[in-house]
Amino acid sequence: MMSRLNQRNIVVVSGHNEENSVLYLMTKSFRIRNNYTLFQSIEYSRKHGCPLKIILVEPYEINPRNILWFHQFTADLIKQLKVYSNDVSLINRSQLNEERFKDVHTVFTDKAYLKFDIDLLRQVKTIAYKMDMILIEVETNVFVPITLASNKEEYQARTIRPKVHRLLEDFSEEVLTDATLSKGENQAFKILDVFIEDKLPYYDQHNDPSLKKTSLLSPFLKYGFISPISIYHKINHHDPQAESFLEELIVRRELAYNFVYYNQGYDQFDKMTDEWAYLTMKQHLKDQRNYVYSKDDYIHFRTHDRYFNAAMKEMIYKGRMHSYMRMYWCKKIIEWSKTYQEAFDIASALNNEFFLDGLTPNGYTGVAWCFGKHDRAWFERDIFGKLRYMNDNGLKRKFDIETYVSQMNELIEEDIDVI
């Protein structure tokens, strides 16, 4: 197989200054194994006989708890990165200035998809132009580079699936596999091993929130502690449940990245979904709402729905929510809001503030899905129109939902998983 590693690279700025250092600006991939940006910067520095500097840029977050969760892994990562560079540092975004690029000829950085990361890239791009540097983005947190998989916003999973699958083997090459793993990577691989051993054989039951068969890898994917390609190679592809899990890991995840890349209105109510969805919402805007709640009501578990309140406890206390309950949660916010705009704003705000895996393409796509994105029109009904509807009868019919409620009612605020 011919290596396609260089096809992960995008030259953003072509400079010609005479400085000699290479800088890796680590913004999304806080790991060593299968970190293609780190690999490319190491190879480039060796080829040109240049010293390599590495700067870790603290992720953008709304909730300080998420930053605390992230920082439990950074000291050890810096220690392990010193195998490759004598100059490794960690800064927050406000500390990124021209002084950080002194003596730098070429900058490698992780590809940006979301607006706050694109803003950071724009800042680096301005500095690169001013200082006549080379700036190279590397796609290191998706399986197949977005623009190679598709040149447009895809309609549904079924339209992107064949495009991703035809390139999987081309982009499955691993790098830095013999490196010592950092603490965050080790933790991610331990969780992956438990999933493969104890949960994957029963993945057909993963939609039942009481059984706890989900992978719990989403925060580690968010911060780039583990690559989807690492997971792909660890999975037993002969397990009959593997295909279902890999559909979520690869196709659905890459569909989310496709969405935010090609639709920069992903975080705006009037741009994030399809015309049929806006039409049906417009037709049902004045429908009678039997219950109307505020964001504060949700945070303090003050709805009449004990299943919704239980899901909110998982969000507030654990920083996560079971995937099926996450759909139910957002659908109920639509049902209990005065307007669809208000529902979208509340769901987005809660998603981005309280979930450890908030502020990700998957998070924005998950909210948009509840408003019809990547879905289809259903039978007409009050409030939802042709949007997919979910109710508590479905929970009772499909799951042992009472066990889930009991589990969540036992949680306390200190139960957040800081490992």
Neighbouring CB atoms inside 10 A of 224's CB total 23
Average pLDDT rounded to a whole number, residues 58-82? 97
- DSSP lists the bridge partners of residue 106 as 22, 134
Backbone angles phi, psi at 189, to 5 degrees: -70, -35
pLDDT single digits (tens) 269-319? 999 999 999 999 999 999 999 999 999 999 999 999 999 999 999 999 999
Structure tokens at 151: 């040149």
pLDDT tens-place string over residues 345-382: 999 999 999 999 999 999 999 999 999 999 999 999 99
- What single string gives the DSSP state of each residue in 326-361? HHHHHHHHHHTSSSHHHHHHHHHHHHHHH-TT-SSH
CA distance 238 to 259: 31
pLDDT band at 415 (very low <50, low <70, confident <90, very high): low
- The single-letter DSSP state of residue 385 is B
More reliable by pLDDT, 329 or 10: 329
User: Which of 376, 399, 406 minimizes the C-alpha distance to 156?
Assistant: 376
d(CA 281, CA 185): 44
Amino acid at 405: V
Q: What is the predicted pLDDT for the residue at 237? A: 82
pLDDT category at 336 given cuts 50, 70, 90 is very high
Quick check: 154 pLDDT over 60? yes
Q: DSSP 3-state assignment of 155? A: coil
pLDDT, tens only, 107-148: 999 999 999 999 999 999 999 999 999 999 999 999 999 999
Place 324 in a pLDDT band, splitting at 50, 70 and 90: very high
End-to-end CA gap in the chain: 39
pLDDT level of residue 240 (50, 70, 90 thresholds):
confident
What integer pLDDT is reported at residue 417 of this predicted model?
Answer: 53
φ/ψ of 14, rounded to 5, equals -105, 110
Contact call for residues 12 and 106 (beta carbons, < 8 A): no
pTM (predicted TM-score): 0.95
Residue with tokens 């006549």: 132
Report the pLDDT averaged over residues 249-253: 97
Asked if pLDDT for residue 2 goes beyond 60, the answer is: no
Q: What are phi and psi of 296, to 5 degrees?
A: -65, -35
Mean pLDDT over all residues of the chain? 95
Provide mean pLDDT across the span 20-36: 97
* Closest by CA position to 375, among listed 255, 246, 247, 268: 255
Indicate whether 1 pLDDT > 60: no
In the prediction, which pLDDT does 419 show? 38
What is the reported pLDDT for 64? 94
Q: Where do the domains of the chain lie, and which CATH numbers do they carry?
A: 5-141 (3.40.50.620), 147-262 (1.25.40.80), 275-415 (1.10.579.10)
Percent above pLDDT 90 for the chain: 91
What is the tens place of the pLDDT at every residue in 310-323?
999 999 999 999 99
CA distance 318 to 411: 8
From CA 238, how far away is CA 241, in angstroms rounded? 8
Residue ranges of alpha helices (H) inside 223-376 are 228-234, 242-246, 253-262, 275-283, 295-299, 306-313, 323-335, 340-354, 361-370
Is residue 133 within 8 A of residue 106, CB to CB? The reply is yes
Q: What integer is the mean pLDDT of 260-264?
A: 97
Q: How confident is the model at residue 62 (pLDDT cuts 50, 70, 90)?
A: very high
205 to 208, 232, 238, 399, 401: CA distances (angstroms): 6, 21, 18, 10, 13
